[in-house]
Amino acid sequence: MSSLEEVARRISVCVDCSLSKNRTHAVPGEGPADAEIMMIGEGPGFHEDKQGRPFVGPAGRFLDQLIASAGLDRKQVYITNVVKCRPPNNRDPLPGEIAACRKHLDRQIELVNPKAVATLGRFSMARFIPNQTIGKVRGKARSVEGRLIYPMYHPAAALHNQNLRKVIEDDFKAISTLAKQAVRQPPADDPPGEQLNMFSSGGP
């Protein structure tokens, strides 16, 4: 599998779990192939399933505001989900569905090789930080598999809860600074060489 387009093609014909049966469109994800920041949500909802694009419904509009508040443009960010097909009635994705979809997400992470991954909600948090609660780990960047991971609440959870809303707004403001400080990892298929530090020295 060589490119993000090829991953998207594979996702569009994937029948490795039962979510494929009811999809209108699979939702592979979108954004620049060399994005410094990747955001990973849970799974497509009604609007995403209809359009084949991630975060285009109400949670997506809030996500756009949050991205703008971080001084970024949505077009700079690679946005995807843990599962690429809509769970019926927006139920939580099941462990088997997440496991079946993991190869697609893993390949997207490998290809984009972002400096920082912002996880949106508990399912994408669990991909990097298992057995934790989001309330405990949110807003604290850490290195996982040599990459900066920044767990945040899901925008949909924060949309109608004023307390969570303030927390997610504050967490978002830190993300561009974090990404600036992080150093991109060597591509996965590079020959082993000098190891880079997680954070740049901040020097000239």
Task: Name the phi and psi angles at 150, rounded to 5.
Answer: -125, 100
Return d(Cα 63, Cα 108) in angstroms, integer.
20
Shortest Cβ distance from residue 120 to ligand URA (Å)?
A: 6
Nearer to ligand URA, 80 or 185 (CB): 80
- Taking contact as CB under 6 A, which single stretch among the options 39-47, 132-140, 177-185, 195-203 is the one that binds ligand URA? 39-47
In the set 28, 31, 41, 93, which binds ligand URA (CB under 6 A)? 41
- Taking contact as CB under 6 A, which single stretch among the options 55-63, 64-72, 131-139, 189-197 is the one that binds ligand URA? 55-63
Q: Does 81 contact ligand URA by CB under 6 A?
A: yes
Helix (H) or strand (E) holding 99: helix 95-112
Burial of residue 22 (CB within 10 Å: 0-12, 13-18, 19+) is exposed
- Taking contact as CB under 6 A, which single stretch among the options 36-44, 134-142, 169-177, 185-193 is the one that binds ligand URA? 36-44
How distant, in Å, are the alpha carbons of 60, 96, 136 from that of 53?
10, 23, 30
Return d(Cα 104, Cα 100) in angstroms, integer.
9
- # residues contacting ligand URA (CB under 6 A): 12
Q: Does 55 contact ligand URA by CB under 6 A?
A: yes
Q: Does 93 contact ligand URA by CB under 6 A?
A: no
Return d(Cα 90, Cα 186) in angstroms, integer.
37
CB 108 within 8 A of CB 31: no
Shortest Cβ distance from residue 183 to ligand URA (Å)?
A: 28
Chain residues in the site for ligand URA (CB under 6 A): 41-45, 48, 54-55, 59-60, 81, 156
